[in-house]
Amino acid sequence: MSSRSTTARYDLSGARVLVMGLGAHGGGAASARFCAEAGASVTVTDLRDESALGESVASLADLPIRFVLGRHEADDFHVADIVVKNPAVPRTAPLLREAKRIETDISIFLSGHTGPVLAITGTKGKSTTASALQHVIAGRYPDARLGGNITVSPLTFAREIDRDAPVVLELSSFQLGDLLLASSGVAGQRPSFHIAAVTNLLPDHQDYYDSMQAYAADKALIFAGQQRDQWCLLSDDDAWSRSYRPPHPSRVIRFTAGRALPPVGSVAGFDRGRGVLRLDGEAPVTLVPHDTTLSGRHMRMNLLFAGVGAHLFGVPADEVRRRTASFAGVPHRLEVLAVDEGIRYVNDSAATIAEAAVAALESFDAPVHLIAGGSDKGLPLDAFAEIAGRTASLHLLEGTATRRIIELLGAAGGSYDGPYESLEAAFDAARAAARAGEVVLLSPGCASFGMFRNEFDRGNRFRDLVQSRSGMVR
């Protein structure tokens, strides 16, 4: 397909576009650039000022974009033809009611892309699963792209790819729910994804949603609009995922990590250490071999979701096995940074709920010196009693959630060090406690705000500490 016809699909000539929420991860900047290059007159507005958003502002310096930072101006919403909403902007923001038309970077992309979209969501594991899925299908479909919540807006490649190219999207609950606000070709409709996967559903984001039911309902949008020839992949290992009832039951694959496969139905799980898919009435097919680059039960389950999705998309089983075995993982998810004097340093900063920290601990046979704690998302923290019992030492970072953790550990008799007012102090304490053959792990089980900009900043600073103290990062 010519670039000319690709560009025509996204023609915004003469439109007045207001991007609400510039953000620090590139999503708002990608929307602003895309709309400006598509012919729109673009204004960007954000409640944060330029001191907090300088990098994003600088990335748009070559374009004639107007910035309104540190505030929102109602007139901008009144005159805009399109308001592009950043996922971090609450849907209840009063000024959104002034918008004639609401879009997101995801809705704009979906309105113009006609190729297959393979969508991944879930409380934990969605980034690894989406990245692994793109890695596997790229062996057969080299033009396959990856975008979404993984901090790569699909608008960064929308005009570059053929309209029929397969695209893997990692989608958060915010991004899915926002599609119902949008006014484009998919607007107000439930999207129809060729593959829709929910890796798991655990309590999260209860500082944004008023109930788990509301959170689960946004996640369910990933499969709600599917057609009869499309596939839905769901966990069978948590109660919320088991409660889902997709529209086409014969096209649902249920996944289990810790028990034998049920004798009937279309299921995926592990048999003697190998990840297998068994479609109803057919022989099992091995898609994840015994030996893979990624270790840990939850990471191998992510590989199985990716392998099943790729196989159902048409990738032969032997090719799926080769590519799931070689997938190296993504930053901030059980990322081995270095081994120094026999001590492994592992970055799992993306573990923002307590259950994710438990899963990380289960991935190691060696003693673990854990750095955890942080800010509060209004979630249960009872798992920290188990966490304290599993660790060789527990080093807590200061934060609103940490205060609750300390109260819990005090009642349960769990031991800990801290709370530390800096990551550097916690890191040095954990490093001093560790011995050859042991692990220093950052897996906070809490949000990052307050001490850090976000979980990626937290993980990057941990990486810098490993490099500065050991002189090496893998």
DSSP 8-state code for residue 71 = B
Give the separation between CA 22 and CA 31, rounded to whole angstroms.
Answer: 9
The reply to whether 2 falls in a domain is no
Q: Which residues pair with 170 in a beta bridge?
A: 120, 148
CA atoms within 13 A on the CB side of 25: 16
> Based on the domain organization, do 412 and 456 belong to the same domain?
yes
Last residue of a domain, one of 103, 127, 146: 103
Which of 349, 354, 374, 371 minimizes the C-alpha distance to 457? 349
**Are the C-beta atoms of residues 87 and 205 closer than 8 Å to each other?**
no
Q: Tell me, what's the pLDDT at 2?
A: 36
Is 7 contained in some domain?
no
Residue 264: the pLDDT is 79
Q: Please identify which residue in the block is written with the tokens 């496969």.
A: 261
Q: Is residue 121 part of a domain?
A: yes
Taking only the tens of pLDDT, the chain with its 474 residues reads 333 345 567 899 999 999 999 976 667 999 999 999 999 999 999 999 988 898 899 999 999 999 999 999 999 999 999 999 999 899 999 999 999 999 999 999 999 999 999 999 999 999 999 999 999 999 999 999 999 999 899 999 999 999 899 999 999 999 999 999 886 544 456 789 999 999 999 988 888 899 999 999 999 999 999 999 999 999 999 999 999 999 999 999 999 997 778 777 899 999 999 999 999 989 999 999 999 999 889 999 999 999 999 999 999 999 999 999 999 999 999 999 999 999 999 999 999 999 999 999 999 999 999 999 999 988 899 999 999 999 999 999 999 999 999 999 999 999 999 999 999 999 999 999 999 999 999 999 999 988 998 999 999 999 999 999 876 665
Supply the pLDDT for residue 474: 57
* Residue 10 falls inside a structural domain: no
Domain boundary among 81, 103, 125: 103
Kindly state whether residue 6 falls inside one of the protein's structural domains: no
Q: What DSSP letter does each residue of 205-261 carry, written as one string?
A: -TTTSSSHHHHHHHHHHHHHT--TT-EEEEESSSHHHHT---S-GGGEEEE-SSSPP
Structure tokens given for 151: 């901090």
- Give a yes or no: residue 244 inside a domain: yes
User: Do 82 and 218 reside in the same domain of the chain?
Assistant: no
Residues 355 and 286 occupy one common structural domain: no
Clarify whether residues 381 and 344 are in a common domain: yes
CATH number at residue 418: 3.90.190.20
What count of other Cβ atoms lies within 10 Å of the Cβ of residue 441?
27
Q: How would you label 104-114 residue by residue, b for 16+ Cβ within 10 Å and e otherwise?
A: bbbbbbbbbbe
- Supply the pLDDT for residue 3: 39
Q: What is the CATH number of the domain that holds 210?
A: 3.40.1190.10
Question: How many other C-beta atoms can be found within 10 angstroms of the C-beta atom of residue 87?
Answer: 23
Is residue 5, in this structure, part of any structural domain at all? no
CB-count exposure of residue 387 (10 Å: 0-12, 13-18, 19+): buried
Q: What is the pLDDT of residue 1?
A: 34
Q: For residue 96, tell me if it sits in a domain.
A: yes
Residue ending a domain, choose from 326, 355, 389: 326
Beta strands in 27-124 (DSSP E): 41-46, 66-69, 82-85, 102-103, 117-121
143 shares a domain with 255: yes
- Domain CATH number, residue 83: 3.40.50.720
Task: Give the count of domains, the chain.
Answer: 3
Burial 181-201 (b: 16+ CB within 10 A, else e): bbbbebbeebbbbbbbbbbbb
Residue 162 and residue 118 share a domain: yes
What is the Cα–Cα distance from 251 to 231, expressed in whole angstroms? 5
Same domain, yes or no, for 272 and 421? no
- Regarding whether 153 and 52 lie in a shared domain, the answer is no
Same-domain check for residues 139 and 97: no
Tokens in use for 154?
């699909």
What number of residues does the chain have?
474
The boundaries of the domain holding residue 419 are 335-469
Cis omega (within 30 of 0) for bond into 419: yes
Do 189 and 89 belong together in one domain? no
In which region does residue 346 sit, left (phi positive, over 0), alpha (psi from -120 to 50) or beta (all else)? beta
Cα 17 to Cα 40: distance, rounded to the nearest angstrom: 6
52 and 97 both lie in a single domain: yes
Give the Cα separation of 315 and 427 in Å (integer).
43
* 278 and 262 co-located in one domain: yes
